[in-house]
Structure 1
Amino acid sequence: MAEKTKIVEVVPYDPAWKKEFIRLRDFLLEITGDLIIAAEHVGSTSVEGLSAKPIIDIDLVMESYGNFPEIVQRLSQHGYVHQGNLGIEGREAFRREQEDGFMKYHLYVCPKDGKGYLEHIALRDYMRVNPAAAREYEEVKLKLSEQFRDNIDAYCEGKTEVVHSILRKAGHMI
């Protein structure tokens, strides 16, 4: 099971997040680069100016599940454990067993047409070009992080409505 965030903390945007993503992406491409078609920075840390939990979300995108067994094998050789989809279709989660010198991150492997991946990209891209949507999302996250400081499940559940609203505005059907 994924390690749950014990304290929900939303902090102001940090330009270092982009640099950390690049460092992490380059490391993961060394392991899986010939098996994936893209490595995407997703989640709130990928939207400049947006406050976020200081956790990088990265999607390694594969053509199809045909390469997935080899991806799992390679990642496992570098200390990653496959956790399944954790309830999100089209998104396979991995966790690193040991400290690796990166800031905290969530690693997902997704097929290019997977629901989880497509939602990650739609949400990120819409907020990047629609500052009002990003601010609305930020306000909800800040409020929820204060209200549910020690309950990540309630925090995530509380964001669902605004996330779905933004995805609808982005033209992404839920």
Structure 2
Amino acid sequence: MPITVVAYDPDWPSRFGRERAVLEEALAPWLIGGVHHVGSTAVPGLAAKPIIDIVAGVRDLAGAAPAIGVLAEHGYVHAPHRPRAYWFYRTATRSAEHTHHLHLTEPGSDLWRERLAFRDALRGDPALRQEYQALKLSLAESHDVVDGYTADKRDFVARVLASAGVTLAPRPATAVINTLDPGDPR
């Protein structure tokens, strides 16, 4: 599937807001720390793959396992991912294209800190946002698969996180990394 990066859509925050309301209700028994819009669609003015990336905090990841079934009722498909996160995607009706990516993780986990810090750094620095957009557009043209596109963003992501005081954790050797998750900078 080609990597498609499109101009910023001012409807992305509204799409997230509608989804947040659904997720807050569905995840209420496990939720702590909120439901957050992350990734490029959460950064005003930034071109992005048109997928709403979401991270939701849960009290205890193992204790939130029943949420997998609850989320399936809302069209989310669970796929293996990092040891300290559950990852889901949702597709458009009659399409294989992803519309939403959702991570459940404990607040304070590496994924939690990385995603929120990266989003906030891009929101707060127009020059950094432009640099990232140029990188994404260039990589989308030069890569046919998401793995290479994601891998080639890693140095930029690590630099931005380091400037925010967050170290991009190395991939755990035993982790199951889901190649369907193009938002994962690892």
Sort the TM-score into its range (normalised by shorter chain).
0.7 to 0.9
Counterpart Cα distance in 2 of 1:151 and 1:70:
32
In structure 2, runs of 5+ residues without a counterpart are: 169-186
Which one of 30, 38, 45 corresponds to residue 49 of structure 1? Answer: 45
Which one of 86, 93, 111 corresponds to residue 99 of structure 1? Answer: 93
**Does the CA-based 8 Å contact 1:35-1:62 persist in structure 2?**
yes
Counterpart Cα distance in 2 of 1:136 and 1:98:
30
**Does the CA-based 8 Å contact 2:61-2:85 persist in structure 1?**
no
Q: How does 1:31-70 map to 2 (within 5 A)?
A: 31-37=26-32, 38-65=34-61, 67-70=63-66
Q: Percent identity?
A: 35
Task: Return the structure number with greater helix share.
Answer: 1
Q: Which residue of structure 2 aligns with residue 158 of structure 1?
A: 152
Aligned length: 164
Residue 122 of structure 1: SS of its match in structure 2?
helix
Deviation of the 1:66 alpha carbon = 5.0
* Structural RMSD (CA): 2.0
Which one of 124, 127, 134 corresponds to residue 129 of structure 1? Answer: 124
Q: Render the CA deviation track for 1:40-98: whole Å, top value 9, x for unaligned.
A: 0000000001111111001111122253123223223444332122xx45331023488
In structure 1, runs of 5+ residues without a counterpart are: 1-5
**Does the CA-based 8 Å contact 2:39-2:119 persist in structure 1?**
yes
Q: Which residue of structure 2 aligns with residue 167 of structure 1?
A: 161
Counterpart Cα distance in 1 of 2:83 and 2:117:
16
Q: How does 1:111-130 map to 2 (within 5 A)?
A: 111-130=106-125
Q: Which residue of structure 2 aligns with residue 143 of structure 1?
A: 138
Deviation of the 1:99 alpha carbon = 3.3
Q: Which residue of structure 2 aligns with residue 8 of structure 1?
A: 3
Residue 13 of structure 2: SS of its match in structure 1?
helix
| 1:95 counterpart letter in structure 2 | Y
| 2:77 counterpart letter in structure 1 | V
Counterpart Cα distance in 2 of 1:96 and 1:53:
14
| 2:50 counterpart letter in structure 1 | P
Counterpart Cα distance in 2 of 1:136 and 1:27:
34
Q: How does 1:72-91 map to 2 (within 5 A)?
A: 72-85=68-81, 88-91=82-85
TM-score of the pair, normalised by structure 2:
0.80
**Does the CA-based 8 Å contact 2:88-2:102 persist in structure 1?**
yes
**Does the CA-based 8 Å contact 2:37-2:54 persist in structure 1?**
yes
Counterpart Cα distance in 1 of 2:52 and 2:76:
16
Counterpart Cα distance in 1 of 2:90 and 2:15:
16
**Does the CA-based 8 Å contact 1:58-1:106 persist in structure 2?**
yes
